[in-house]
A and B are shown apart, each in its own frame.
Chain A
Amino acid sequence: MTSYLIRNARILGGEPQDLRLKDGVIAEIGTGLAADGETVVEAEGLIALPGLVDLHTHLREPGREDAETVLTGTRAAAKGGFTAVHAMANTFPVADTAGVVEQVWRLGRESGYCDVQPVGAVTVGLEGKQLAELGAMADSAAAVRVFSDDGKCVDDAVIMRRALEYVKAFGGVVAQHAQEPRLTEGAQMNEGTVSGELGLAGWPAVAEESIIARDVLLAAHVGSRLHVCHVSTAGSVEIIRWAKSKGWDVTAEVTPHHLLLTDELVRSYDPVYKVNPPLRTEADVLALREALADGTIDAVATDHAPHPSEDKDCEWAAAAMGMVGLETALPVVQQTMVDTGLMSWAEVAERMSFRPAAIGRLAGQGRPVSVDEPANLVLVDPAYRGAVNPDAFATRSRNTPYRGRELPGRVVATFLRGRATVLDGELV
């Protein structure tokens, strides 16, 4: 196995130091380390972060290999600086059995670019009616700890209560896609002044907030762990902040696109901006940034949602919801959180690696950058500026809202247990 000597990297944005990666772990950290047969990586000016961990991706395999496979998705993840991603359960077939989650887990192992942690469905077929065999998925080789019907809301209060209770037996967490279905029938975009003008059916903030309010109360009542997926409104932030102030075990994630983009972009009717939950208002964006900075929101999660071009090359109402995000996540977080002075690089490591790994109960991921820890690392060039070029993406799909947009920062190298998956910005 190749060993690496990384020279002059600023660990979590600190003073330049050298790191020796050997046998899958960080063997030595210091200054002026001498190369001992290792491949030297000059990291002058680069930030070293723990390998990023994503709580929320859609890798589409099995079933929609035309949009993404575990292999292409993990290659995109590596290029984005991730060393572990959670793969959501809304595949075909749905990941609601030990068999399917083990298949996805095995495909991740075979890819070698990034650990893949399958998320198990809460209910059979994501139908919201009958609990899936959560225990079997937890006990499987995939060791599932995060359960979600993402894409659909577990809207039945009794099913949600039971799921929250049941996963306590094996340290699981229910990750809720908070969307009250009746309030969002036919919804096309955020309900606000823009939807009114455009004549597109609205997805009101209250449809998200009412479910989160109910779920934090349920989680408190049964003493279980709740994770809220892709928080998108200022009101949701208030509810989560209140739940945390009570000491309840509630965590939350925000997507990069909700930290940057607003529903004003929908005026173009370009479906590349169609996503669920929808892009909200400037006030929501600012509240989400503040909440991520103060820790009310625990983690950044991409909700990477690849779609084939024909599902976006159409009129708005016919288009699929979702955006790819793995390869642009860190640049967007740098622009919205770091370059604005809201967060340090150490806090980026917290929100994009330590916390998501802890929420997902991942062993060997989201570990400190210190000696004897697994060598899961990403080197970032924060001075880089460049326009997003989707044609260079590793993901199979191109449905990015950032085409041509200038974003700061670039992942220069990614290491998974001491092996380089990305060097000089290219897949190894």
Chain B
Amino acid sequence: MKRHLVSTADLTRDDALLILDTTEEMAQISTRAVKKLPTLRGRTVVNLFFEDSTRTRTSFEVAEKRLSADVINFSAKGSSVSKGESLKDTALTLQAMGADAVVIRHSASGAPKRLADSDWLHGSVVNAGDGTHEHPTQALLDAFTMRRHLNPGRGKDLAGRRITIVGDVLHSRVARSNVHLLHTLGAQVTLVAPPTLMPFGVDSWPCETSYDLDAALPKSDAVMMLRVQRERMNAAFFPTQREYSRRYGLDLGRAAVLPDHAIVMHPGPMVRGMEIASEIADSARSTIVEQVANGVSVRMAVLYLLLGGSEPAITTAASPTEEHTK
């Protein structure tokens, strides 16, 4: 494993499978009465959030605590950051305090890479979402969820599975991370969006694109609906919320043409009635709540592998607890 997780484009197939297999181990921990490993005891992990995200921060925090790390939440609100302190000075401060890993969420694309490439701090950097660039742990939890449903088992990838990602691809860090990772895992990805919400140059991405959701759905093994912010219509990306829903929302009629085994995913937070109908979000094929649970396991696996350094990963042991209490 590399020292940082900044982009899913940096992950080889072996890296990705190691994370997914390790996630399976971590998921077992979460089913126990005592959901805790001593693995990161004495290590300090900072959740550095320049942008509000209670869901992601909480998920990381639970993961860190289950690994027994010392957790510091450093949010822009109420800290020196809101008084104009720079990313550099914040990083130098965290370095001086001995952070072993920094989980960073930032509204500026590239901020985690900047942090990882700088000499401002020496710990591992985990990208928890940067601007409209990437959100690697979200893509990993999505891939983990897909594998469990579509090709379960250790060492398995997503070869030949057809994944349709629908919505505001232009502004979506989730879509970018998913395209890289799913391609690495062998899946066939189709991005569906109105032309205004498709990124410039998307033709060069390792995926298909379409403006027609109805054509894509019958051949999808999984369909992932992205959040669409209502304010986008103020910048003329689409005329009205209702028009968007009619053309690109997943309603009952559209869900009916999905193959029986197909799952419906959403990275949250979702806008019910906009990109997805409530009946679909709450249906049996929806994995939305499961994704949240898997998010904790994936983040445990990532932190474990990044901070484990040269120690062997827990790929062979049936119980991670045993190995690490020796």
Interface of A with B (CB < 8 Å)?
Answer: 188, 191-202, 204, 268-270, 310, 313-318
Q: Which residues of B contact A310 (CB under 8 A)?
A: 86, 88
Q: Which residues of B contact A314 (CB under 8 A)?
A: 86-88, 114
Q: Knowing A198-B110, A315-B110 touch, does A192 contact B201 (C-beta < 8 A)? A: yes
> Contact flags (1/0) for B156-175 with A, using CB distance below 8 Å?
00000000000000000100
Q: Does B202 contact A (CB under 8 A)?
A: yes
Q: Assess the A317–B131 pair: CB atoms within 8 A.
A: yes
Q: Assess the B108–A317 pair: CB atoms within 8 A.
A: yes
CA distance A314 to B114 in the complex (A): 8
Q: Knowing A199-B131, A199-B133 touch, does A317 contact B200 (C-beta < 8 A)? A: no
Q: Assess the B205–A197 pair: CB atoms within 8 A.
A: yes
Partner of A313, one of B88, B202, B204: B88
Q: Does B111 contact A (CB under 8 A)?
A: yes
Q: Assess the A313–B200 pair: CB atoms within 8 A.
A: no
Partner of A202, one of B88, B110, B111, B200: B200
CA distance A196 to B209 in the complex (A): 14
Partner of A193, one of B88, B108, B109, B204: B204
- Of chain A, the residue at the smallest CB distance from B133 is A199
- Of chain B, the residue at the smallest CB distance from A202 is B200
CA distance A180 to B130 in the complex (A): 28
CA distance A314 to B88 in the complex (A): 6
B88 to A: closest C-beta gap in Å: 5
With A193-B200, A315-B111 already in contact, 4 other A-B pairs whose C-beta atoms are closer than 8 Å: A192-B200, A197-B176, A313-B88, A316-B109
- Of chain A, the residue at the smallest CB distance from B130 is A199
Most buried by B among A195, A199, A314: A199
CA distance A200 to B199 in the complex (A): 10
Q: Assess the B110–A316 pair: CB atoms within 8 A.
A: yes
Q: Which residues of B contact A200 (CB under 8 A)?
A: 109-110, 131-133
CA distance A317 to B200 in the complex (A): 19
Q: Does B10 contact A (CB under 8 A)?
A: no
Q: Which residues of A contact B208 (CB under 8 A)?
A: none
Q: Which residues of A contact B113 (CB under 8 A)?
A: 268-269
Q: Assess the B176–A199 pair: CB atoms within 8 A.
A: yes
Q: Assess the A196–B201 pair: CB atoms within 8 A.
A: yes
Closest 7 CB pairs of A and B: A193-B201, A269-B110, A199-B133, A196-B199, A199-B132, A317-B108, A196-B201
- Of chain B, the residue at the smallest CB distance from A268 is B117
- Of chain A, the residue at the smallest CB distance from B134 is A199
Interface of B with A (CB < 8 Å)?
Answer: 86-88, 106-111, 113-114, 117, 130-134, 173, 176, 199-202, 204-205
Q: Which residues of B contact A192 (CB under 8 A)?
A: 200-201
Chain A to chain B contacts (Cβ below 8 Å), 11 pairs? A188-B109, A191-B200, A194-B201, A195-B200, A197-B201, A200-B110, A269-B113, A269-B114, A270-B114, A270-B117, A317-B110
Most buried by B among A201, A314, A315: A315
Q: Which residues of A contact B201 (CB under 8 A)?
A: 192-197
Q: Which residues of A contact B110 (CB under 8 A)?
A: 198-200, 269, 315-317
Q: Which residues of B contact A199 (CB under 8 A)?
A: 109-110, 130-134, 173, 176
B230 to A: closest C-beta gap in Å: 19
CA distance A278 to B199 in the complex (A): 18
CA distance A192 to B110 in the complex (A): 17
CA distance A204 to B200 in the complex (A): 10
Q: Assess the A198–B200 pair: CB atoms within 8 A.
A: no
- Of chain A, the residue at the smallest CB distance from B171 is A199
CA distance A313 to B204 in the complex (A): 31
Q: Assess the B108–A318 pair: CB atoms within 8 A.
A: yes
Q: Which residues of A contact B176 (CB under 8 A)?
A: 197, 199
Q: Assess the A315–B87 pair: CB atoms within 8 A.
A: yes
Q: Which residues of B contact A191 (CB under 8 A)?
A: 200
CA distance A202 to B133 in the complex (A): 13
Q: Assess the A198–B109 pair: CB atoms within 8 A.
A: yes
- Of chain B, the residue at the smallest CB distance from A188 is B109
Q: Which residues of A contact B132 (CB under 8 A)?
A: 199-201
Most buried by B among A192, A268, A316, A318: A316
Q: Assess the B200–A316 pair: CB atoms within 8 A.
A: no
CA distance A270 to B110 in the complex (A): 9
- Of chain B, the residue at the smallest CB distance from A266 is B110
Q: Assess the B108–A315 pair: CB atoms within 8 A.
A: yes
Q: Which residues of A contact B117 (CB under 8 A)?
A: 268-270
- Of chain A, the residue at the smallest CB distance from B106 is A315
Q: Which residues of B contact A198 (CB under 8 A)?
A: 109-110, 133
B162 to A: closest C-beta gap in Å: 23
CA distance A196 to B114 in the complex (A): 18
CA distance A202 to B202 in the complex (A): 13
Q: Which residues of A contact B109 (CB under 8 A)?
A: 188, 198-200, 269, 316-317
CA distance A188 to B132 in the complex (A): 12
- Of chain B, the residue at the smallest CB distance from A193 is B201
Q: Which residues of A contact B86 (CB under 8 A)?
A: 310, 313-314, 318
A19 to B: closest C-beta gap in Å: 49
A267 to B: closest C-beta gap in Å: 9
- Of chain B, the residue at the smallest CB distance from A318 is B108
CA distance A202 to B201 in the complex (A): 11
Q: Knowing A197-B205, A198-B133, A199-B133 touch, does A318 contact B200 (C-beta < 8 A)? A: no
A219 to B: closest C-beta gap in Å: 31
CA distance A398 to B111 in the complex (A): 21
B132 to A: closest C-beta gap in Å: 4
B211 to A: closest C-beta gap in Å: 17
CA distance A37 to B204 in the complex (A): 68
Q: Which residues of B contact A270 (CB under 8 A)?
A: 114, 117
Most buried by A among B117, B131, B173: B131
B126 to A: closest C-beta gap in Å: 16
B259 to A: closest C-beta gap in Å: 30
- Of chain A, the residue at the smallest CB distance from B110 is A269
CA distance A194 to B204 in the complex (A): 10
CA distance A188 to B111 in the complex (A): 14
Most buried by B among A195, A198, A202, A316: A198
CA distance A193 to B132 in the complex (A): 14
- Of chain B, the residue at the smallest CB distance from A204 is B200
CA distance A201 to B200 in the complex (A): 10
- Of chain B, the residue at the smallest CB distance from A316 is B110
CA distance A193 to B86 in the complex (A): 29
CA distance A317 to B86 in the complex (A): 12
- Of chain B, the residue at the smallest CB distance from A194 is B201
CA distance A374 to B86 in the complex (A): 50
- Of chain B, the residue at the smallest CB distance from A317 is B108
B275 to A: closest C-beta gap in Å: 20
- Of chain B, the residue at the smallest CB distance from A201 is B132
B99 to A: closest C-beta gap in Å: 18
Q: Which residues of B contact A188 (CB under 8 A)?
A: 109
B317 to A: closest C-beta gap in Å: 38
